[in-house]
Amino acid sequence: MGLSLLVIVLHYNGLADTLECVASLGRQTYRNVHTIVIDNGSAERANPRLAADYPWVEVIELGDNLGWSGGNNTGIRLAIERNYDVVCLLNNDTVLPAHAAAKLMESAAVLGPCILHPAIDSYGRDDEPQLDPTIPQPPELEVAPVAGRTDLFEISSVNGACLLAHCSVFKRIGLIDERFFLLCEDGELGARAVSAGYRLFCDVSVRIQHKESRSFGGKRTPIKTYYGIRNMLLCLETPRGFWRALPSSGRQLVWMVWSTAEAAGDRPRSWWRLLRWSISANIFAHAVRMGVRDYLFRRFGRLNSRDEAILVTKASPP
């Protein structure tokens, strides 16, 4: 029957997306697979619809939103306890072609313990890749072809929208760092795996579709800006420590603040104008300040409910 696979779909509201994702899993040709939907404290519960339409799916309801890291860790622990060979972490806003699991598991069997991805396209737009080492995309991605294969590439980073990992990888390096809650935790996981000697791959014979940032309400929102700023700083310090990472963290922070200001509708053409924007009442500037504040005060995990409400209720994505 081949390696056993546990697919973990993390559901947080967005029920229509979850149902479309699960429907695509129901069309998979690979048979030695089980699907768990983890309801991450959603207001829009998945269990009634899944029980009616997809009774083969196991649903686990969490009492609170544990974020991408905590919710997926719940599923990874079950995969290890139940002795699955491979676990797939799959965003609920993805759609897979019918051959995806079979081809990825074929590559996983050949490669041995590793982290493996499909190529990822924007939903409905195969001309807008989110992960494609043949371009490469994203531009900073480092790529090396695998000898003897035209469809397999070694890559330099992890994409959390869809990744397969042998359970032995998690047994050795540990689970996802729950300090991140959302964003950048996949990057830290990949760096930790590489440090332990594991390799990261992308099999471009499989292309899935990803709607991207549906749980945030868009690609650029204040709440996503907060987690992006705070967690980027945490990710940069993780392998080196706070003080050694400080110079590179400072440079990266300036670049992120500048790009956030531009995306929010401002065009800072000088350091002075960037500083003025950073201390302005703009909700995105407020999110940046909150992210830096919580990083410096070592406040990780989920943002407190009062500040979260401010960023969500005042959100107006450009």
- List, for residues 157-194, the tens digit of each pLDDT value: 999 999 999 999 999 999 999 999 999 999 999 999 99
Indicate if 228 and 121 belong to the same structural domain: no
Boundary residue ending a domain (210, 232, 267): 210
Q: Provide the pLDDT for residue 318.
A: 41
Match 């950048």 to its residue by tokens: 184
Integer Cα distance of 204 and 201 in angstroms: 10
Indicate if 198 and 259 belong to the same structural domain: no
Q: Residue 106's domain spans which residues?
A: 5-210
Integer Cα distance of 151 and 137 in angstroms: 15
Indicate if 70 and 27 belong to the same structural domain: yes
Indicate if 162 and 278 belong to the same structural domain: no
229: nearest Cα among 250, 243, 214: 250
Indicate if 154 and 252 belong to the same structural domain: no
Across 80-109, average pLDDT: 97
162: nearest Cα among 228, 231, 106, 211: 211
Cβ(188)–Cβ(164) below 8 Å: no
Indicate if 227 and 205 belong to the same structural domain: no
Comparing 98-102, 261-265, 273-277, the range with the smallest average pLDDT is: 261-265
Measured from the Cβ of residue 1, the count of other Cβ atoms closer than 10 Å reads 7
Indicate if 63 and 189 belong to the same structural domain: yes
Q: What is the DSSP letter of 268?
A: -
Task: Decide the pairing of beta strands 33-40 and 58-62.
Answer: parallel
Indicate if 94 and 227 belong to the same structural domain: no
Q: Is the residue at 217 inside a domain?
A: no
Q: What is the CATH number of the domain that holds 33?
A: 3.90.550.10
Boundary residue ending a domain (210, 230, 264): 210
- Whether residue 219 is predicted with pLDDT greater than 70 in this model: the reply is no
> Which residue type occupies 194?
V
Q: Is the residue at 114 inside a domain?
A: yes
**CB crowding 158-170: b at 16 or more within 10 Å, else e:** bbbbbbbbbbebb
User: What Å distances lie between residue 113 and 79, 131, 161, 184, 191, CA to CA?
Assistant: 15, 21, 20, 22, 15
Indicate if 50 and 152 belong to the same structural domain: yes
Domain count, the chain: 2
Compute the chain's Rg from CA coordinates. 20
Q: Token pair for residue 65? A: 């939103």
Q: Is the residue at 216 inside a domain?
A: no
Integer Cα distance of 101 and 135 in angstroms: 23
Measured from the Cβ of residue 197, the count of other Cβ atoms closer than 10 Å reads 9
What's the pLDDT tens digit per position in 285-305? Answer: 999 999 999 999 999 999 999
Indicate if 189 and 109 belong to the same structural domain: yes
Indicate if 32 and 177 belong to the same structural domain: yes
Indicate if 245 and 186 belong to the same structural domain: no
- Whether residue 315 is predicted with pLDDT greater than 60 in this model: the reply is no
Cβ(153)–Cβ(202) below 8 Å: yes
pTM score: 0.90
Boundary residue ending a domain (189, 210, 231): 210
- Whether residue 264 is predicted with pLDDT greater than 80 in this model: the reply is no
